[in-house]
Amino acid sequence: MATPWPLEDLWLALSPLCPGLSLELVPSLDSTNTELMRRARQGQTDPVVLIAEMQTAGRGRLGRSWTSRSGESLTFSLGLMLNPPDWSGLSLAVGVSLAESLTQLLQAQPPRTPHPDPDRAVLGLKWPNDLWCDTGGGPHKLGGILIETATVADARAARTERYAVIGIGLNVRTPQGVDSSIPPLGVSEVQPGLNASDLLRELMPDLLRTVLGFNREGFAPLVSRFARRDWLLDQAIRLSDGREGWARGVDAQGQLRVDTDSGRECIHSNEISIRPR
């Protein structure tokens, strides 16, 4: 029997934070992000959480695909109008919320083998949009974040606002046959018995609060919280253009600080890989 989704309970919890918010569940969709972007271009910009039990053409960062079958992952998008002081760092703010909520939910045990840095969280963030987990055998990818925006003109207010679509994909079960330098991991491997509806119920309230806080204050108040989850901190890394350096955390705009042979640089967006020491 299909697991019931807690949509009514979630709506009661979320609607005081964001009046007018609706929650929609569909059995199958090409992509929750793609659907909300289609709606935004047609002028539909009401706040919504759109959940798909199965995605047939999901998308990740840099055009990567993210397909999912029912029960194997949690795929949803939060869409709402935002006007933050600075858009930089939104994916990092979302990642902080997800990592903190997942840590509480998973009640992760210490790694089976000693971690080189005992103070580093078992569940962390790989800049700019991936959730990683180390259960003792090195990092594995739990999920990812995709942020997209659509410009919406308001003739009455003589201004232009943006509709943000925040897409989340989390592995419930470990997917098979994934070709990636970082192997995937399902949250049910860490905490057996968890399903997609459990994850949605636990993650959504703080996610919405974090996004609304970002809309008021930007990323700066979250820098220290991101630092505690920063998987790249002080790691040797390689940029997509082949240059190498050391990651030195993020600044108040969410840019990655990198020390290279040419000095300190702040990277706004780039493909980053960890270089073996």
Q: According to CATH, where is 3.30.930.10 located in the chain? A: 7-227
On whether the CB atoms of residues 190 and 143 are closer than 8 A, the answer is no
Q: Which residues contact 164 (CB under 8 A, 6 or more apart)?
A: 79, 80, 81, 82, 90, 147, 148, 149, 211
**H helices of the chain, where?**
7-14, 32-41, 90-106, 187-190, 196-217, 223-227
Max CA distance (Å), the chain = 61
The predicted structure's pLDDT at residue 121: 42
CATH level 3 topology of 7-227? BirA Bifunctional Protein; domain 2 (3.30.930)
Work out whether strand 73-82 and strand 48-52 pair parallel, antiparallel, or are unpaired. Answer: antiparallel
Residue stretches of the chain with pLDDT short of 70 = 1-3, 58-70, 107-121, 154-160, 177-179, 270-271, 274-277
CATH level 3 topology of 236-274? SH3 type barrels. (2.30.30)
Q: What is the pTM of this model?
A: 0.89
On whether the CB atoms of residues 240 and 275 are closer than 8 A, the answer is no
CA distance 256 to 136: 26
CA distance 172 to 143: 9
Q: According to CATH, where is 2.30.30 located in the chain? A: 236-274
H or E stretch including 253?
Answer: none
The predicted structure's pLDDT at residue 135: 83
H or E stretch including 222?
Answer: none
Task: Assign 148 to helix, strand or coil.
Answer: strand
pLDDT tens string 186-236? 999 888 889 999 999 999 999 999 999 999 999 999 999 999 999 999 999
Q: DSSP per residue over 83-131, as a string?
A: --S--TTHHHHHHHHHHHHHHHHHTPPPPSS--SSTTS-SEEEETTTEE
